[in-house]
Each structure stands twice: as structure tokens, then as C-alpha cells.
Amino acid sequence: MPETRTSSPERLTSERPRRRPPLTHVPLSRTPLPELDLTAGPWPGAFERVGELTLHVRRTHGDAPAASATAVYVHGLGGSSTNWTDLGRLLAPHAAGHALDLPGFGASEPMDGFTFSLSAHAEVLGDYLAEHTDAPVHLVGNSMGGAISMLVAAHRPELVRTLTLISPAVPDLRPDPRRLSDPRLALAYLPVIGKRARRELAAMTPRQRAEQVIRLCFADPSSFPAHRFDEVIEEHSARVSYEWAERAMARSTMEIFRTWFTRGAGSLWAVAPRISAPTLVVWGTEDRVISVRKAPRTARLIPRARLLVLPRTGHVAQMERPTTVAKAVLGMWESVEAGHW
């Protein structure tokens, strides 16, 4: 397990009430977790209505005592509810888990006219929390799902008990070719010249697409479990049959870029200070998608946030370092309950 800087509850208690705890002092829970089973398949899923939408949602088994807490997991761009298989099971004894397929991803078909903006996704997520959970919940988001979760926490704070952001898609406009596992991705959504790139990418096999995603998101692609690789291939194969899948990917990508160029109140940097929930920010040092250099600013802007940076970790820490992330998330939950966060 990577070394991390931690602080004990005793140290946190001794601090002055109005003094913010050190940004990188994240308590890791000492509560035993279930044994990590990398052979386990995805959680069972079902379709649930949210307004005019039908969302596909996976749920962990009800291990939490008397369903005392609920955790809701929100995937990133191109991901799905299966991105939370390990983390959700590790935390299941403490919180019943709901993992959503956002509209246009996984098995959730978007309704006609859905804009795929971050705010549109956030409205769907907020409505789901209000209609299908005993909110407030522990909200956990990765990448695009992290940005969406930030919007919900800022605009509908009554729904969020704690917030965990894993490499959230905050504005990152640095030119870094490492973030592209295929140079054609840089051209795919540009006018005119993007048409050929999209055609070539569409011709890739599900296996090639799965390999591309893993190379981009994992610091060490060779560590990705073989049977999980088969699951990713199966998901990409299924998406080929969804006529809305490519549109959802393209539009959501453009909407993220649009948000990055937004200034003023609509910027994610302006949204962050409005988040009142206790927040854990997790980042991998080898993140090729959103630079770890954005991590300190993200954590500083959120009033009750602390930062955990994991070495030798990429963009999906919940998949690459599930046990460490679970200990950090549970450590936050326990600290919040004890009044130490």
C-alpha cells in the first residue's frame, strides 16, 4: 500500500475549533474492511425512473447496519457503474451503495433533447438523490462524475452528507500529449477534420477501445485484472449497438471543454467555494487526464476539503487503489461522525 500522511483523531481534536486542519492530513480508517475480491463481477443492476428518464443503477447488497447510510457513486466520461465494483463492495458494510449509469452511458438511454451538459447531468443526479435515497448521502464522483457531484453539492447541499472527489474534471488546459492514448482523440471533435478521426475511431474493435481506455486511465495498465478486461470489452461491445452512445460521448466531451472555458459564476473554480459538505479530494500522481497539479487548488477552494495524493496511480484511483481509497473515504466518514473533520 502506498505511504500516506495521516493524522489521528486525537491530533484533530486538539486543534482550535476555527482553524482548518492541514490540507494533506487525511485520516485512514483502522476499521477492518472486507477482503478485496478481484474476481467478483459487477453489482446487480436494475432500471429506475427519474422524471422522464430511465436510469440503469447498480446496488450493493444491503450490508450496512439498518441501512444507516447510503453512498452514491458517479462515474466519469466514457465510464459506467461498473467502475465502482471494488470500492463499493469494500464500503458496503458501512453504506448501501448506488452506482448510476449517467444518461448516454452504460445502459442508460438519454431522452430526446438531453443536452449532456454538466448541469443537465447534475440535475438528473440531484433528482435521483431526492427520489431514490434517504438523502443526505455520501456522494462519490470520479472525473466528469466528480465535476457533476461538485455542482450537486454546491447547488443542492441538503442532499449531500459528505463528498469524495477522485480526479474531478476541473479545468485543465495544459497541452500535454500524455493524456491521449490515441492522437486521433485530439482531432475527433473538431469541425471538418474531426470527421475522418471519428470514422477511424469508430472502426476500432471493442478490444482496441478497451486497451485504449486502460492505457489512458491506469498508471500501470499491466495491473488491470484480466477478467475485468473482458468486462470492459463486453461493455464496449454493447455500446456499439446503442445508437445514442457516440453522440453522448461526443456531446459530453464538448460540454466539459465548454465548462473549462467558462468564466465567472459558471466556472467550476467559482463553484468549489460554495461546497459546504466535508470533502475528500483524491488524486494520482500519474494522472494523464487531469493533472495532479490541479489537486491543491481544488482542495484549497473547497472550505472543508482535505487532499490525498497517491503515488504510482492514474486517473481512476478507485479502481487502481481501491483499498487505500476505501480506508480514506471511511476515515473521512468516521471523522465527520466524531466531529473531527
pLDDT tens for residues 162-205?
Answer: 999 999 999 998 755 555 545 555 555 555 556 666 666 667 78
Residue identified by cell 496511480 is 313
- Report how far residue 89's alpha carbon sits from residue 96's, in angstroms, rounded to the nearest whole number: 9
Terminal CA-CA length for the chain = 24
Do residues 13 and 320 lie in contact, with contact meaning Cβ atoms separated by under 8 Å?
Answer: no
Rounded average pLDDT over 123-137: 97
pLDDT band, very low/low/confident/very high, at 128 (cuts 50, 70, 90): very high
pTM as predicted = 0.88
pLDDT band, very low/low/confident/very high, at 229 (cuts 50, 70, 90): confident
Contacts for 130-137: CB closer than 8 Å, 24+ residues apart: 130/156, 130/159, 131/50, 132/48, 132/50, 132/57, 132/98, 133/70, 133/72, 133/98, 134/67, 134/70, 135/70, 135/159, 135/160, 135/161, 136/160, 136/161, 137/69, 137/70, 137/71, 137/72, 137/161
Q: How far is CA 311 from CA 76, 216, 221, 276, 284, in A?
A: 21, 16, 15, 28, 6
Residue count of the chain, please give it: 341
- Domains, the chain, ranges and CATH? 9-173+244-337 (3.40.50.1820)
Over 50: is that where the pLDDT of 16 sits?
Answer: no
- Report how far residue 86's alpha carbon sits from residue 92's, in angstroms, rounded to the nearest whole number: 10
Mean pLDDT of the chain: 87
Query: Can you give the pLDDT at residue 198?
Result: 61
Across 39-43, 123-127, 299-303, 321-325, least confident range: 39-43
Alpha helices in 156-267 (DSSP H): 194-202, 206-217, 226-240, 245-260
Q: 94-123: per-residue pLDDT in tens?
A: 999 999 999 999 999 999 999 999 999 999
Residue 136: cis peptide before it, omega within 30 degrees of 0: yes
C-alpha cell at 280: 475528500
Q: Of the candidates 74, 80, 83, 166, which has an alpha carbon nearest to the alpha carbon of residue 126?
A: 74
Rounded average pLDDT over 236-249: 86
- Report how far residue 160's alpha carbon sits from residue 162's, in angstroms, rounded to the nearest whole number: 6
